[in-house]
Chains A and B, each alone.
Chain A
Amino acid sequence: DAGITQSPRHKVTETGTPVTLRCHQTENHRYMYWYRQDPGHGLRLIHYSYGVKDTDKGEVSDGYSVSRSKTEDFLLTLESATSSQTSVYFCAISVVQGARLSKQYFGPGTRLTVT
């Protein structure tokens, strides 16, 4: 699992409140990702990072922001949570060997419910 942990694992919050999810890795991988998983949609990329302070948007980035001030931590923030952001959120890292993508490892997920 490449030493990926996510916190919290479960959270219930109210509409309009800010929420921050944390992804932590222990193996100094450069590339980190946040996905959301919803029935019928598979996994959709929210944001990704290719280094400290280097981030970019994925396909469903509206309403989300990210920060990466240290290699090991990648934070996902919902500035003002909405019910449409109720989902399971997965963090992932990519392993690169010889400048080529080798594989991607996923964290255990965070189940977020916005009421």
Chain B
Amino acid sequence: AQSVTQLGSHVSVSEGALVLLRCNYSSSVPPYLFWYVQYPNQGLQLLLKYTSAATLVKGINGFEAEFKKSETSFHLTKPSAHMSDAAEYFCAVSVESSASKIIFGSGTRLSIRP
């Protein structure tokens, strides 16, 4: 069965510093991978997705993620953190090409220090 593990339930970085949120997946077949962001008291928004077209995926708000099959990882990065990036981030995996189940990680809360 597919699953995702997010390393670190809370990450804190200074404004302007690199953001790195870690996600490792488990899947016996090529996965579809996603990163979602959730701002306080809101639903989830899709940041970016990997569906095998390219290993480096660019998303909204300056975020990007790289699919590394050898490491079974899909880490999310942003070169320079902004105060507005403070939110909770979820990695998710789906191995089925049809629209059915997506499995979410437990989330990483990102805090930005002034």
Smallest distance from the beta carbon of B43 to chain A beta carbons, Å? 4
Is chain A's binding surface mostly helix, strand, loop or mixed? Answer: strand
Chain A window 104-115, contacts with chain B (Cβ cutoff 8 Å), 1 for yes, 0 for no: 111111000000
> Interface residues of A, CB < 8 Å — how many?
28
Smallest distance from the beta carbon of B84 to chain A beta carbons, Å? 19
A44 engages B43 (CB within 8 Å): no
Report B-chain residues with C-beta under 8 Å of the C-beta of A40.
9, 106
The docked-state distance in angstroms from the alpha carbon of A42 to that of B32 is 18
Additional 19 contacts, C-beta under 8 A, given A43-B104, A50-B100: A1-B43, A31-B99, A31-B100, A41-B106, A42-B90, A43-B90, A50-B99, A90-B43, A90-B44, A94-B100, A96-B99, A99-B98, A100-B97, A101-B94, A104-B34, A104-B102, A108-B42, A108-B43, A109-B41
